Chains A and B, each alone.
Chain A
Amino acid sequence: MNADRVTGARLAAWWVSTITRTAEGSVARDRRAEVASDVHDQLADAGRRGALGAGSRAVVGRVVRGVPSDLAWRVGLELRPGRFAWHLRNPSTAITTTFVAMVPLNAAADSAGTRARQLVDYRVPLWVATDILGVCILLLAMLALASRAWPGWTAGVESFQPGSRLERARRCATATLGIAMAGSAVFRFGALSLVGGVFWAAFAAALVTYLALLVVTGGVRLLTLGRYLPKVAA
């Protein structure tokens, strides 16, 4: 069996490409190449001992043990100077990440009860947190739009190139979901609830689009299964 096709190698390659996705080009390339070389060396070493299966499991363990550090490394990378301009040029990554953090908060705020014997009303801090994230998303979206109109802000910043048109559409739909949910959360109260309603409608439309894109992506994968299966079996 080819050592680069075992589960450990595949998982390591998938994880490192996921964690370095949308990171700076040279940093991402270096990290991917380093991990690929490390995994190759480890599996080659295991193969020489006649223990490729154990080597593959050991690689899986190394990937899993490294996840917290990988996440911390990625957060550190995002705090480097110049990254904000990159996010203005390519806002969908930051919007989607904030949206993913916002969904459980929003759900918890919605479901927090108002029982009479409850000492603390948890809805208030939950809504405050949700609204703060919502305002962040809306501000980022507006600044990104403004930087399109006045590109001086983001001049020279490289544009992220998704792998396919389907992926580009999915990124766009997810960012729209984030913006729509942020708008519906921020403009939820009082006279502004009408604006919130418009955002809810946009959210529903974006959700339908996103689900349709997921179905299409699944369909494409099914159609290409004949090409993919032999690789898995190998």
Chain B
Amino acid sequence: MAYRKPGTLLPLEAEILSAVAARGDSGAHGFVIAQDLAGGAESSKALVGHGTLYKALDRLRTRGLLNAEWEDSAAAEQAGRPRRRLYWITAAGATVLREARSAAKPGLRLGEAPA
């Protein structure tokens, strides 16, 4: 299990923030975040576990780094699927993500550990 210093991000949290930020104003929902973490819709990499993903999202939301909102039920009904919970990055989240990116060593992906 990964432990952290107060105020810092775990690698998974940094990747989630990055994935949500990349989706911009349209927001990101759980499945699309899981796909982005695995390297996109075409990737054959296994998706992150539900428990791991939603626990991390809950933590980021509680820390004020993400905003969450349930989509309009009429839109979901029209699309014939359950309502999605959409996430957006907050100003505080963007700042923390910027700091995490600048702290990452050059040549490494965000959240990647040096060999």
Contacts and interface: CB of A to CB of B under 8 A. Distances in A.
Interface of A: 12, 16, 19, 30-31, 33-42, 44-45, 58, 61-73
B97 interface: no
B86 to A, nearest CB: 10
Interface of B: 29-32, 34, 41, 46-56, 58, 70, 81-85
21 contacts: A16-B50, A19-B51, A34-B54, A35-B50, A36-B82, A37-B81, A37-B82, A37-B85, A38-B29, A39-B50, A41-B29, A42-B31, A62-B46, A62-B50, A65-B51, A65-B52, A66-B53, A68-B51, A70-B51, A70-B55, A73-B55
Given A38-B34, A41-B31, A33 B83 contact: yes
Given A37-B30, A38-B31, A69 B51 contact: yes
Contact of B85 (A30, A44, A65, A69): A30
Q: Which of B30, B50, B83 has the largest number of chain A CB atoms within 10 A?
A: B50
Given A41-B29, A70-B55, A63 B50 contact: yes
B1 to A, nearest CB: 8
A44 B51 contact: no
B96 to A, nearest CB: 21
B58 A73 contact: yes
Nearest to B79: A44
A68 B83 CA distance: 26
Contacts of A66: 48-54
